[in-house]
Amino acid sequence: MAKGLDEIDIKILKHLQKEGRAQRNQLAEIVHLSVPSVSERMRKLEEKKLITDYRAILDGKLFNFDITAFVFVEVDGSDNYPKFIERTTNEPEVLECHSITGDGSHILKIRTENTDSFEKLLSRIQSWDGVSKSRSNVVLSSFKETTELPIEKTIDPK
């Protein structure tokens, strides 16, 4: 739980999750504080690493990234993990890499242009040291995709 947050911090964070380009004067109106007060709160949230970045979220389909897939990968031995993580980090079409329990040791979220580019990416991944097995699930359609956390649950009831 993020300690030391009050309802105003939560309102600021919730609004920034929805609209990362919000102007400080707009946030000040929403939380009924001055612009310098909002700026100070945002600075503290950034210092605490509660806000880690601001970025645009692009529609992959409009950039011809038509394939979204989740690839379960089994990496043999912990000796191979650091190199595997480095390779996923350097592979632009791998959007996310998570260490998991269950089927496989890692799950990758992939966005690629088409089935041909997806097949080539899978071949590269399968050739990496320590990768013993992979299983892919291609997304047919997406109904919810978000980066917003339900942070209102983090307020301590007093």
Give residue-wise pLDDT tens across range 97-141: 999 998 889 999 999 999 999 999 999 999 999 999 999 999 999
The C-alpha torsion from 18 through 23 and 24 to 29, rounded to 10°, is -80
Domains and CATH numbers, the chain: 7-56 (1.10.10.10), 60-138 (3.30.70.920)
Rounded mean pLDDT of 82-94? Answer: 97
Share above pLDDT 70 across residues of the chain, in percent, rounded to a whole number: 96
In the block, tokens 């700026």 appear at 39
Taking 80 as the threshold, does the pLDDT of residue 156 lie above it? no
Q: DSSP readout, 48-59?
A: TTSS--------
Greater model confidence, 86 or 1: 86
Taking 70 as the threshold, does the pLDDT of residue 157 lie above it? no
Rounded mean pLDDT of 59-74? Answer: 96
Would you say the pTM of this structure is higher than 0.75? Answer: yes
Identify the CA nearest to 96 among candidates 68, 123, 61, 64.
68
Taking 60 as the threshold, does the pLDDT of residue 35 lie above it? yes
Average pLDDT, the chain: 93
Supply 32's token pair. 């009924």
Identify the CA nearest to 68 among candidates 134, 102, 113.
113
At 53 the pLDDT is: 93
How many Å apart are CA 129 and CA 79, to the nearest integer? Answer: 10
User: For strand 131-138 and strand 106-112, is the pairing parallel, antiparallel, or unpaired?
Assistant: unpaired
